[in-house]
Amino acid sequence: MSEIHPTAVIEEGAELGENVTIEPYVIIKKNVRLGNNVTIKSHAYIDGHTTIGDGTVIYPSASIGTKTQAKRFQGETTYVRIGKNCEIREFVTINSSCDEGSTVEVGDHCLIMAYCHIAHHCHIGNHVIMANGAMLAGHVTIEDYANIGGMTPVHQFVRIGKHAMVGGLSRITNDIPPYTLGAGIPYRVAGLNLIGLKRHNFSIDLRKALTKAFKLIYRSGIQFHEAVARIDEEVEKTEPIKHWIDFCKTSKRGLIGLQPITSADEFPDIKDLLEE
């Protein structure tokens, strides 16, 4: 049974699933669609052609589906799609897109913490975590299981790969390869996110293969295209390795650089995750 507070404003045309909870002073505009068991907490504002998946919780004062901040927007019909079982915390802003028919997407089981911003044309995978105050410019892609540290801005068109761990207070201007760990301004890739890979049941053989691929890209001293070719030739073609190769080959902004790491103390917020 749905629970809708009498002070909530739900425009005619909005579609609500079963067992939804709408708390006081929520505003839901006419083109919004809510799945089953969705909770919208007090003072949240849901606008535009926005779809919110089953079981997702929108926390107080979040603003979802509002007009993009891109100046080229001319009133085109655009969309926001949020997946199932997400948590969108307080004061998060998720704008709509700005080209006809384009969509901002957030996958399933994502945690978007307070004060985060997601701009037009962003695509976020499943099980992504964005810590407080992380900000995505337009056209950013975040792949599955990536973690973005707090107060980290991400430049437009950047891609962050699967299982990447991005330390807080970083600045991201280029693509971050999957399975890596890093932080800083300028951002430096410190190594593989080995603890994260273990937690997601990557075998020791697969972790060794990824380590070899990482060393060829970042520590061999050879040219980038040569490193990718050697990975293609020398490392067993498991699905993660295939994804690594494809990610590197298709990078348009270039991969984020690596400077020598002399001590884990340079990365106090992630030092416990670094392994030799």
Q: What is the pLDDT of residues 215-268, one digit of tens each?
A: 998 889 888 889 989 998 999 999 999 999 999 999 999 999 755 444 555 555
Q: pLDDT by residue (tens digit) across 65-116?
A: 999 999 999 999 999 999 999 999 999 999 999 999 999 999 999 999 999 9
- CA 35, CA 23: separation in Å to the nearest integer? 16
Q: How confident is the model at residue 276 (pLDDT cuts 50, 70, 90)?
A: very low
Q: Average pLDDT in the 20-30 region?
A: 99
Give the count of alpha carbons within 13 A of 268, CB side only: 1
Cα separation, 113 vs 107, whole angstroms? 15
Q: Where are the domains of the chain?
A: 3-142, 204-273
Class of domain 204-273: mainly alpha
Q: What percent of the chain has pLDDT over 90?
A: 88
CATH superfamily of 3-142: Hexapeptide repeat proteins (2.160.10.10)
Residue 273 pLDDT > 60: no
How many residues does the structure list for the chain? 276
Q: Is 132 exposed, middle or buried (0-12, 13-18, 19+ CB in 10 A)?
A: middle
Contact call for residues 154 and 135 (beta carbons, < 8 A):
yes
Which backbone phi and psi does 9 adopt, to 5 degrees? -110, 115
Q: In the sheet where 123-124 sits, what is the strand order?
A: 15-16, 33-34, 49-52, 79-82, 103-106, 123-124, 141-142, 159-160
Pick left, alpha or beta for residue 201 (phi over 0 → left; psi -120 to 50 → alpha; otherwise beta): left
Q: What is the 3-state secondary structure (H, E, C) of 181-203?
A: EEECCCCEEEEECHHHHHHCCCC
